[in-house]
Amino acid sequence: MKTVLVTGARGQLGTEVALNCPAGIALTTVDRAQLDIGDEAAVRRIVDELRPDAIINCAAYTAVDRAESERDAAFRINRDGSRHLAQAAQRIGARLLHVSTDFVFDGRKSSPYLPDDPTQPLGVYGASKLDGELAVRETAGESALIVRTGWVYSAHGSNFVKTMLRLMQEKPELRVVADQIGTPTSAASLASALWALLARSAPAGTYHYSDAGAASWYDLACAVRDFAAPRLPKTPATILPIRTQDYPTPAKRPAYSVLDKTSTWALIGSGRHWREPLVEVVNELTA
C-alpha cells in the first residue's frame, strides 16, 4: 500500500488520519469542498484520476439531531456517498476503509456490542449509516473494511469535549446526561487504529474500535473538568447528573453503545483507557 485517498479531510477524524499517516505513504486528502461524495460522477472522476491503493472514508453527515429533519441530506452522504466510494474502489481494485458508528445499535444490550450483533438504529442518522454499511458490503464486501466507533473527540472541529470546556467557563452549573453509556474515543487513537488495520492487511469485514473502558456523558464531562481545572482561568462550573428524559432531543440515542473490540485488538493490539488520551487532548486545548 503506497497511495491512499482520505475523504472528509477537514473533519476531526480526517485531520487526525492525515496527522498520523505512516512514513512512505503518498497521501491525498480531500474535504467536502473538493469532493462531494454524494456526487457519483465527481467520486468516479477523482478516484479514476488518483487510482489510490486504498481509500479511507471519513466523510459523513454527523448532525444527529438535525438529521431527523434533513433525512434526504443524511442518506445522500451516508448511504449514497458510501456506495459511490465503494463502486469507485471496486472498479480500480482499491481497498475501502469505511468508518461507521455505534448508533447502528438500539442500546438495549447490557454488554459490549459484537460486530455481528443485530442492528436496529433508533434515528435517521443511525439508519443512514447502517444503509451506508450495507451499500459498502454489497458493492465491495470482499475487500472492504467497515470500522464502527463512537463518542469521537479531538482538539479539532466540534465535539463534546470542546463544548464542555467552553460551557464550564461560561456557566455556573451544567446538567449532563448520566444514563447513556459508551466509550469516549480520541480521534487520534482511532486514526492510528485505521492505519494499523490497513498495514496489517486485515481481512474484509466489520470491526469495532474505540478506546478502552466505558463512561456516561456525565462521567466524561467530570473528567474534562478535573483535567482542565488547574489550567482554567476561572473555577469550572458545577456539573450535575440528569436523566435522558430530562434533556429531550429530536433524535433518540442508544442508552448503551459500548463496542466489543476483541477481534480488532487481536489484530492491532489493545488500546488505551479513554482517560489517557483525554488528558492529552484537554492539555492541548488548555495550553
**Residues labelled catalytic:** 125
Q: Which residues contact 226 (CB under 8 A, 6 or more apart)?
A: none
Half-sphere exposure (Cβ direction) of 286: Cα atoms closer than 13 Å: 26
Residue type, 7: T
The answer to whether the beta carbons of residues 211 and 277 sit under 8 Å apart is: yes
Q: Please give the grid coordinates belonging to residue 214.
A: 466505558
Distance between CA atoms of residues 160 and 153, nearest Å: 7
The answer to whether the beta carbons of residues 89 and 153 sit under 8 Å apart is: no
Give the pairing of strands 3-7 and 152-153. Answer: unpaired
The answer to whether the beta carbons of residues 5 and 17 sit under 8 Å apart is: no
Q: Which residues contact 60 (CB under 8 A, 6 or more apart)?
A: 8, 11, 77, 78, 99, 129
The answer to whether the beta carbons of residues 7 and 35 sit under 8 Å apart is: yes
Rg of the chain in Å (alpha carbons): 19
